[in-house]
Amino acid sequence: MKDLVESYGLTMGDIGVVGFHGQTVLHRAPQPGRLGATRQLGDGELMHSILGAKVAYDFRSADVRAGGQGAPLAAAYHAALLREADASGDTAVLNLGGVGNVTWWDGKDNIVAFDTGPANAPLNDFIKANGLGEMDRDGALGAAGTVDEVRLAKLLQHPYLTKPYPKSLDRFDFGAAMADGLSAEDGAATLTAFTVSAVGKALDLLPRRPKRLAVSGGGRRNPTMMAMLARRANVEVVQAETLGWKGDAVEAECFAFLAVRVLRGLPISFPSTTGVPQPMQGGRLAG
């Protein structure tokens, strides 16, 4: 962190607050009669003592203790981006990381966000299990394969996909085993089709179905996934950069944005984004 700051000709004294999310090792959504659970590795107090700057951290625990999902937390920042872009309910933000999540803003006061389903996680795990690298680079395997439509139809019957929001997922809730028995190419194609078809079902749950998705996260670099997304989810698809955003940096920017909200005592999650009973400040501040 210090090296990064100094590379821009600044010092830690120039930094108002650092947003430190940490590495998620557990995310368990709440169930009737049972609170959820969330755990991120990392020590915000230790980071503060090393950096000498204020550190906002532990963004999810308060939301979970209050009965919320604890995720997704990007909604407030996504809505700010949409507001700045003068967008409305016709454009939504889709992040394709390990898990997919969507944020919809009606152009006024209503924000809805939830996890759509798996994104890159099962596909990456499937590629690794086949000894073919870390990911389906450039969507080449998926493009060379054929979607197993019968298997896909069965996968799309999963109850999560039609469950009303708010809702959230752990990275491991949907796994590479969904493609067991398929060739590397057909497995990649089928898992990619499942990801984008799940997005289509998610869009159907929104108060108004958006006509366009601005896509951030690693999935936007998979042209096969992007092409399937437009076709199978029946929506216009553009990369985040089309709106002037930095698609690889949106999540990092999000937690910088949330850190400032923690610093100012502003809410970071809302009933329509995580299911928390009321707007929740959340986060802890070291320093």
Give the model's pLDDT for residue 151.
99
Domains of the chain: 2-70+251-286 (3.30.420.40), 75-243 (3.30.420.40)
Distances (CA, A) of 7 to 92, 148, 250: 34, 49, 20
Distances (CA, A) of 286 to 148, 258, 266, 267: 51, 14, 16, 18
The span from the CA of 197 to the CA of 191, in Å, is 10
The span from the CA of 122 to the CA of 176, in Å, is 4
Cα dihedral: 221, 223, 224, 228 (round 10)? 100
Q: What is the pLDDT of residues 47-69, one digit of tens each?
A: 999 999 999 999 999 999 999 99
Among 72, 116, 75, 91, residue whose Cα is nearest residue 239: 91
87 band by pLDDT with thresholds 50, 70 and 90: confident
Q: How would you list the strands of the sheet with 99-105, edge to edge?
A: 111-118, 99-105, 91-96, 212-216, 236-239
Q: What is the pLDDT of residues 252-264, one digit of tens each?
A: 999 999 999 999 9
Among 44, 47, 77, residue whose Cα is nearest residue 61: 44
Q: What is the pLDDT of residues 96-130, one digit of tens each?
A: 999 999 999 999 989 999 999 999 999 999 999 99
- 184-205 and 120-129 helices, crossing angle to 10°: 170
* pTM for this predicted structure: 0.94
CB 268, CB 80: distance < 8 Å: no
Retrieve residue 11's tokens: 């010092």
The span from the CA of 45 to the CA of 94, in Å, is 32
The distance between the two most distant Cα atoms of the chain, rounded to a whole number of Å, is: 58
Separation of first and last alpha carbons in the chain: 17
The span from the CA of 132 to the CA of 213, in Å, is 30
CB 258, CB 56: distance < 8 Å: yes
- Tell me the sheet residues that pair with 92: 104, 213
- Backbone φ, ψ for residue 10 (5° rounding): -115, 170
Give the model's pLDDT for residue 109.
87
Give the model's pLDDT for residue 20.
98
- Taking residues 27-39, what's their average pLDDT? 95
Q: What is the pLDDT of residues 135-183, one digit of tens each?
A: 999 999 999 999 999 999 999 999 999 999 999 999 999 999 999 999 9
